[in-house]
Amino acid sequence: MPDEGGWCMVKQPRRNMVYDEYVEDCELFDELYTACSPDHFNKVWAKNFPEVRLRKHCRFSKCSFCVHWRGVATSRDVSAFVKADAKNRLKQHYGWAQARERGYYHFKRDRAVKSPEDYISIAIDATDKLNNGLPHFFEKTKSDDGMRLKLHVIIAMVHGSSPYIFLAHENIKKDPNLVCEVLTRVLLAEEKKRGKLPETCYLQFDNCIRENKNTYTEKYVEWLVERGIHKLAEVSFLPVGHTHFDPDQLASRIGEIIKHRNIKSIEELIEVLEKCYTPKPTVTMIDDVLDWRSLVNPDNAADFPVGTSMCRRLRGCTTKTVAPEHMYYMPETSPLHWRIRRDEAGHVFMQTKHNVDDDLWSEPVYHWDTLATRPGGRECHLHESGLKPSDLTLAPRNKLSAERLEELESTLEGARRRVSPDEWSQLQSTLDELKDPTPVDQLPVPEHQWTFRCETDQRNNVVAMPSPPDLRMAPYSIYHDANDQELARDQRRTQGHCENVILMGSFLAYLPDYTADAPANIRNEFWLGKVVELDLDLKMVHVRRYNTSVPANATQGGNATYRPWPKSPKHEWIAASRALCQFLKLTDKNRVPSKMRRRIDNALKVAAMERTSSSQEEDVGTGMEDEDE
C-alpha cells in the first residue's frame, strides 16, 4: 500500500529480484501474466508504475541468512545450479519468517481484536527518536550540540485498543524492571477499560536479551499467571532481522512529528505525542518502577543461587540451535515462543518452541523450587513462588556518573538561551534530581501497589481490589416466545450471565440520540455499535458505530445491512442505560439476527412506555407544585 508520500515500497532490494518473482508468476498463472524480457519489464515499471519503488536503505539489523544467500544468488562466481538453490532457500526462508512466524503473530493479533473478552494481545518495544535528548531542536547550533536530557520511550500496542507511550528519564535503568512496570501499567489500564482481563494473554517482544528475553521477564509473566491474572500467556519473538512490527510503525510516526519541531519540555512532548497517531495514544511519564529484580534475585547473581534467589535461572532461552529438518531455510535461533500456564495441581510451568514449524512444545519446566526464605519468612509450597504484590518495592533511581553530569550541565547551558525562564527552571529541577536522586525509602508507592481487581489468592493472603459492579443494560428484555426465553436460560447456565451484562466485543443496540433538525423519514429506530471499551466507574460504554440506510430497522429491518460508520466520529461513548440488547455477531449478510430484532423491538416499546410514564409523573408533580403555590 502507498505510504503518506504516495510511494509504494516492495520488499526486494533489487529490480532483478522483482523480475524473478514476476517470471515465477508467469509460469504459475500463464493466462494472467505475459512473459517479457527484463528490459521491457523495467520500461513498463518506469512508465506505468513510477510510485512503486525499491527500499534503498533499511535501518534495521539484517538477517544473516538473507544477506548470505542473497549474496550467493547474485554472485557471478557460482554456477546456475547454486544460484537456483540459493533463490529457493530464500523463498522458503521468506515463507517461514514472513508468512508463518509473522502470520502467527497476526493470527493472535486478529483474534484479540475480534474477541477482546477472551484474548488480549500486547506488543512492546522501545524506540529512540530524540537523538540529542530534551530540549529538542530541529535546527542545531554549535553551542547546543551534544546529548541533553535522555529519555526512554517505550511503546505498547494493545491490539483493538488505543496504544500507550511511556517516557522515563535516564535515571531509570532500561532493564526487566522497566519492561515489567510497563506491562503492569498496560494491564491495569486495560482492566479498567474492559471491566476484567481476558483469560489468554499474547505478548510480542523484541529479541533484546537485556530487557525481554531473560529470566526476570519470563518469571514475571509466570507470576501473573500464578496470581490468576491470566490462565494462559504466550510470549513470542519474531526472527532476528525480521522483527519490524506494530510499535515500529508508531515509532516512525513519532520521528516524523518531532522532526521539524522544537520541543522544550515534557509537557510539550506529551502534547505532541498524543497527536502523532490515530487512535490517540495514552502518554505517561514513569518516575519510578517496581523492583522485581531485587525481589526475585536479592544478590543479583548471574547464576541465581538456589539458597538466596526465589527461582532458578531460565537456561536455554538465548541458546541458538536449529533442527536438521529446518536448516535448509532458516538460521540458528533461540526459542521464539514461550507458553506459560498451570497444571492440574495449579502449579505454573513453562514450555518453549523454537519456531512455529515445530510440532511439539518442550517438556514442562518448573523453576519456583528453590530453598530461599520467602519475604516475611512465610511458608512456600513446592513449585510456587511464595510471593505476593505487597513484597514489591520501588527500584532505586540511578545516580549519574560524574562524566555524564559534566556533559549534561554543559549541553543544557548551551541550550539555555533557546528556552524560556520557566522551561529552564524545569530543566534545572530535573538536573537536580539526576544529581542527587531521592532515596528509595522516600518514594511514594503507587496506590494500586501492582495489584489487580481480579486478583484473589487465599493461600498468599492476596486480597482482590474492590471492583465496580458489571455494566448492565436497563431491564427492557421481553422474550417474544418460550424458545427465546429458553435460549436466555441456556446462556445463563453456560456462561454465568444473560445478555443484560454488557460484554467487550459484542454488538450493542442502543437508543438513538438524534438532533432536532434530523428529518423524521431517515431516523433509525435504534442505533448499533460494537463494544470496544467499558468504563465501570462512570457506567459508560465506548462503541464503534455501525450504520444502515433502513429507517424502520427494528420493525421492518429484515433486509437491513450494517456497515461500520465511515464518517467522523466513528466511535462514541454512551451511557449504559441507553443499551437495549446485545448479541455476539451479525449474520453472514451483515444483518441483525431476526430473534434479536424482535427483542430490540420489544425493548423499544418498554423504553417508550417508561419514558411516557416518567413524563406523566413529572406533569403530575408540576401540577401539585402549582396547586401548592
Domain stops at, among 76, 100, 124: 100
* pLDDT score of 2 more than 50: no
Q: What is the CATH number of the domain that holds 506?
A: 2.30.30
The residue type at 399: K
Do the Cβ atoms of 180 and 278 come closer than 8 Å? Answer: no
Q: Is residue 616 part of a domain?
A: yes
Q: Which of 267, 228, 251 is nearest to 419 (CA)?
A: 267
pLDDT at 403: 92
Phi, psi of 598 (to 5 degrees): -65, -35
> Among 155, 148, 430, which residue's Cα sits nearest to residue 276?
155
Tens digits of residue pLDDT in 420-434: 999 999 999 999 989
Q: How far apart are CA 63 and CA 6, in angstroms?
A: 28
Reported as a pLDDT band with limits 50, 70 and 90, residue 119 is very high
Query: Is 88 a domain residue?
Result: yes
Q: Is residue 64 a part of any domain in this protein?
A: yes
Residue 468 has pLDDT above 90, yes or no: no
Residue 588 lies inside a defined structural domain of this protein: yes
Question: Distance between CA atoms of 296 and 309, rounded to whole angstroms?
Answer: 6
When comparing pLDDT for 497 and 499, which is higher?
A: 499
How many beta carbons lie within 10 A of that of residue 611, not counting itself?
A: 11
Q: Who wins on pLDDT, 313 or 459?
A: 313
Last residue of a domain, one of 100, 132, 166: 100
Bridging pattern class, strands 540-547 and 348-353: unpaired
pLDDT higher than threshold 60 for residue 464? no
Domain that holds residue 50: 8-100
The CA distances from residue 232 to 74, 616, 617, in Å, are 46, 54, 53
Q: Are β-strands 200-205 and 164-169 bridged in parallel, bridged antiparallel, or unpaired?
A: unpaired
φ/ψ of 436, rounded to 5, equals -135, 85
Give Cβ neighbours of residue 386 (< 8 Å, ≥ 6 apart): 310, 368, 374, 378, 379, 380, 460
Specify the DSSP element, H or E, that contains 185: helix 176-194
Whose CA is closest to 229, among 194, 278, 279?
194
Global confidence as pTM: 0.79
Q: How far is CA 6 from the centre of its chain?
A: 28
**Cα–Cα dist 284/184, whole Å:** 13
- Report yes or no on 553 lying in a domain: yes
| Cα 153 to Cα 128: distance, rounded to the nearest angstrom | 6
Query: Is the per-residue pLDDT at 291 higher than 70?
Result: yes
Q: Are 301 and 308 in contact (CB under 8 A)?
A: yes
> What is the band of 172 on the pLDDT scale with cuts at 50, 70, 90?
very high
Question: Would you state the pLDDT for residue 128?
Answer: 85
Residue 34 grid coordinates: 505475459
pLDDT for residue 454:
80
Give the DSSP H/E element, type plus range, for residue 617. helix 594-628
Instruction: Compute the average pLDDT of residues 479-505.
Output: 59
- 258 domain residue, yes or no: no
Residue pair 152/174 in contact (Cβ under 8 Å)? The answer is yes
pLDDT digits (tens, 9 = 90+) for 221-255: 999 999 999 999 999 999 988 888 999 999 999 99
pLDDT of 140 strictly over 70: yes
Cα→Cα distances 85→17, 18, 419, 525, Å: 15, 17, 60, 64
Look at residue 570 and tell me if it is in a domain.
Answer: yes
Note the pLDDT tens digit of each residue in 56-82: 655 556 788 988 998 898 888 999 999
* Contact present, 319 and 312 (Cβ < 8 Å): no
| Helices 64-73/80-94 angle, 10° precision | 150
Mean pLDDT of 153-180: 94
Average pLDDT over residues 83-96: 93
Q: Is the pLDDT of residue 503 over 90?
A: no
- Percent pLDDT > 70 in the chain is 88
Cell 433486509, located at residue: 559
Position 164 confidence tier, pLDDT thresholds 50, 70, 90 = very high
Strands 232-237 and 337-342: antiparallel
Amino acid at 53: R
Number of domains in the chain: 2
What is the mean pLDDT of the segment spanning 199-204?
97
Residue % of the chain over a pLDDT of 90: 48
| Cell, residue 335 | 526459542
Write the CA distances from 107 to 99, 120, 333, integer angstroms. Answer: 11, 12, 22
Grid cell 515445530 in the structure block, residue = 358
Whole-number Cα distances in Å, 99 to 10, 20, 203, 207: 16, 19, 19, 19
Interval 400-459: pLDDT, tens: 899 999 999 999 998 888 999 999 999 999 999 899 998 988 888 888 889 998 885 444
Average pLDDT taken over every residue of the chain:
86
> Angle, nearest 10°, between helix axes 594-628 and 482-495?
100
Using the predicted structure, report yes or no on whether residue 537 has a pLDDT greater than 90. no
**Domain ends where: 100, 128, 154?**
100
pLDDT at position 458, please? 42
622 pLDDT exceeds 60?
no
Q: What is the largest CA-CA distance in the chain?
A: 106
Cell 541468512, residue? 65
Q: CA-CA distance, 531 to 458, in Å (whole number)?
A: 33
Question: Is 603 domain-assigned?
Answer: yes
In terms of C-beta density within 10 A (0-12 exposed, 13-18 middle, 19 or more buried), how is residue 189 classed? middle
Q: Where residue 460 falls among pLDDT bands split at 50, 70, 90?
A: very low
Q: Indicate the pLDDT class of residue 462, thresholds 50, 70 and 90.
A: very low
Residue 168 pLDDT greater than 80, yes or no: yes
